[in-house]
Amino acid sequence: MKKAWVVAVDMGYGHQRPAFALRHIAFRGKVISANDYPGIPELDQTLWRETRRVYEFISKFKKVPVLGDLAFSLMDKVQEIKPFYPKERPLEPPGLQLRTIYGLIEKKQWGRHLMERLDEDPIPMICTFPVPGFMAEHWKYRGDIYLLVTDSDAARAWVPFFPKESKIQYLAPSELVAERLLQYGITKEKITLTGFPLPEEFTNKEGFSQTKEDLRRRLVRLDQKSKYRTKYADVVRAYLGSVPRYHDGAVVITFAVGGAGAQQALGKQIIQYLAPLIKEGKVKLCMVAATHKDAAIGFSKTAIENGLSEKEVEVVFCKTKDEYFKRFTEVLRKTDILWTKPSELCFYAALGIPLLLSPPIGSQEVQNQKWLTRLGSAIPQLKVEYAGEWIVDFLNQGLFAEAAMQGFVEMERNGAANIANVIESNGD
C-alpha cells in the first residue's frame, strides 16, 4: 500500500479523528500534528497556540450569558457557510480568516519549516485541516496535496485564494461538500467523493461482519415494540438477514464531550434526569469524558450524588488522544444511541448507530445537523429535563431503530479504503 504524509492539527477532535482512521496509510503509521511536531520553530508553535487558545476560549465562553453568544457569533461569522441555493452564483471571495492565514504564511514564513522537511520525501500529503494544505502549496511542496474536508458541508475557508489555479485536490466526505467546492471554484477534476474515513476496525472484512452483528442486536433493543421491524421487515432482512427476537438488557446511551470540553454541564444533566430509568434497569450510560479529566471527575461525582454505581454510569477518561480514539472504538461496539453535538461524529451514523443530537455549536455543526436529519439518521434532543419520558417514547415508537437503519443504508462508511485507493491510483 502506498504511504502518505497524514497531517492534522491538535485543535479539538474534529481534525485528528479522521487522521487517526488513516494511520494505516500514514508513513510509518504516524500522524503528523502540524502545530506540535519535533523541532517545530518557536514562532510557528506560538502562532498555532494562539489560534487554538482563541478557539477553545470562545467555545467555553459561549456559556456566559449575552457576552458569550455575542463573542461566539462574531467568530462564527468568519467561517459562516452560506445557503446552498441558488447553485449558480458569483464566486465567493476570500474572507478575513483566509486573508489572515495567507498573511501569516507570507510574512511570518508560517509552516515553511514543516513543508521543507516533508518535501525531502515528497510522497502524497493528506491534510485534515486546510491550513497545512495551503502551507504546502505556498512553500512549493512537490508531492500531491489532498485536503480531506471533515464536515458534511464546507466553508469558504477550506478553499485557497485562487481556487482555479490551485494544485490542491479534495477528498469530499459527502455529495454536498463536492457540490459546494464547485461553487467555490474548485474544478471537478480535483474533487473525489470518498466519504469520511471511519476506523477500519468497523469497515474491513472481519470488522464489517461484527458491525452488522452489533446492529442486529442494537436494532432489537431500539425497537422494543417491534414497530420498525414489522413495517420494514424487508429492508432489515435485505441488509442484516435475521435478527434476534428479544432484546438482551438495558439500552446503552453514550454521551461524548467535544474537544473543547464545553458540554460538561449537559452531561451532568443527562445523568441526573435519566437516573430513574437507569435505576429501573432500562438504560445504562457511558459518559465519554475523552481527555478531559475535569469532565470525568464531574460525571463520576454526579453519578454518586444520584445514587448510581460505576456499572450503571461508566465514565471513560484517557490521558492521550490516541488512547481515547482507540478506546472510543471499543465503546461504540456496545453503544445503542450516541448522544453528541453534530460534530465530525455525524459520519459515525454510517455504522448503524443512531445519533441523538445536542444543540449545534457554530455554523458547521448547524449544517451537519440539517444533513443528518435530511438523511433520517439522527434525532435532535428535546428538553433534557424530560429525557426520561421522550427517550422511552422514541424507543417504543421505533424512531431510534429507524435512524440506525437509515444511517447504515444511506451513508458511505468506506471512506478510509476509498481514500487509500485514490492515493494508490493517482501515483500510477
pLDDT of residue 249: 87
Q: What is the pLDDT of residues 62-98, one digit of tens each?
A: 565 555 566 556 655 666 788 888 888 888 888 888 9
Q: What is the pLDDT of residues 356-403, one digit of tens each?
A: 999 998 889 999 999 999 999 999 999 999 999 999 999 999 999 999
Q: What is the pLDDT of residues 19-47, one digit of tens each?
A: 999 999 999 999 999 999 999 999 999 99
| Domain made up of 4-198+414-426: CATH architecture | 3-Layer(aba) Sandwich (3.40)
Strand, helix or coil for residue 288: strand
Q: What is the pLDDT of residues 343-353, one digit of tens each?
A: 999 999 999 99
DSSP structural state of residue 1: -
Class of domain 200-410: alpha beta
The b/e string for 62-95 (b: 16+ C-beta within 10 A; e otherwise) is beeeeeeeeebeebbeebebeeeeeeeeeeeebe
Give yes or no for residue 341 having a pLDDT over 70. Answer: yes
Cβ-count burial of 111 within 10 angstroms (0-12 exposed, 13-18 middle, 19+ buried)?
A: buried
The boundaries of every CATH 3.40.50.2000 domain in the chain are 200-410
pLDDT of residue 127: 98
The CA–CA distances, whole Å, from 61 to 67, 68, 86, 98, 298 equal 8, 5, 35, 24, 19
Which residues does residue 315 pair with via DSSP β-bridges, in sequence order? 287
pLDDT of residue 74: 62
Give yes or no for residue 58 having a pLDDT over 60. Answer: no
